[in-house]
Structure 1
Amino acid sequence: MLSVYSGQRRSDIVRMGRQHLEDRALNVRQQKTGAQLAIPIHPKLRAELDHLPSASLTFLMTAQGKPFSPVGFSNWFSDCARKAGLPSNSSPHGLRKAAARRLAEAGCSVFEIASITGHASLKEVERYTKSAQQKLLARSAMSALGHG
């Protein structure tokens, strides 16, 4: 849920905790870029966060009660995906791309998507969302012609 509703990298996901919640937003300084983001919390994510223990420093904890490392989180995620019968290349990065794609499918501009994902390059956002944007723009174009 953190990945899908925040669009953040694994290195940022594993550091997120209650200390990042402020004014109905996740306030995150991205580790890779240093970008400071205030991401509004989606109601579905809020519902999940409300069920987590409040004593933990991070939202995501290992079975041993310790915060995940980025690599440890990726390994755990891939193992869970494999056990669930998902494709062998499933990774947290795929959820970051899915978040960007879902925003594009909802009609968000590349600027709006970048405000969530923190991408410094709009070209990277466009690469993540190219197929979603194509479908959306094609529907809009046909609708403009009166065929949608």
Structure 2
Amino acid sequence: MARRSRSALPKYVTAARDRYKKVRLRFRKGLFSTYLKSPFPSDEFDQEYQAALRNERAARGEIGKSRIKAGSIAALVASYYQAPEFRGTAKSTQQTYRGICEHIRKDHGDKPVSGLTRKHVKAIIGKMSDRPKAANNYLRMLRILIRHAIDIEMIHRDPTYKIKGYSKKSDGLHTWTEEEIAAYESRHPIGTKARLAMALMLYTGQRRGDAVKLGPQHVSGKRIAVRQEKTGTP
């Protein structure tokens, strides 16, 4: 059990301010470092503390039950999953980030974060030249992970700094003209799913992820009330 004194934190635990100036409790033992999110003292804190002593995460959702090598990219990914920068994002964003993070973990999980250099990052992105969009997403996720690594002192410089991804050469998505909208409405009259889908997208201005969830439950009188998934904005 962790000590219950309110005046003394357990061994390896210190109070520190993150880059948002918020005081958080950080466990650090050797190269292993993580934030403990439960209040001290509490039973929940004790569970997290004991898990940290085992170099594991107590929180739900960590992939794999085996021990993670301290200071590795796999340990960084696991730490990031418990950070407010990740947990405070929308579920859809978390799903996207997890997908890329697991690719990074699979490709380089056993490598030490402290050994990552600009040369390594440029080589990783360079090998993805046949998939420029995926390469840019990979680089963006690496930047996010490195910022977190700096925050928890797993590394002290950013090897992704000012590394450029692949340029995006695209004319973008075509915006429908009034004539094209009229032709679509003529082909799909009111009452069809196709017409309903277009009307929701065109006249509510919602993101696709929000528009597909709209239903009668969101209608109140002559208004549609919805809370956006990505931003939480009503």
Fold-level match, TM-score > 0.5? no
Structure (1 or 2) with the greater helix fraction: 1
- More relative contact order, 1 or 2 (CA 8 Å, 6+ apart): 1
TM-score, normalisation: structure 1? 0.28
Bigger radius of gyration among the two: 2
TM-score, normalisation: structure 2? 0.21
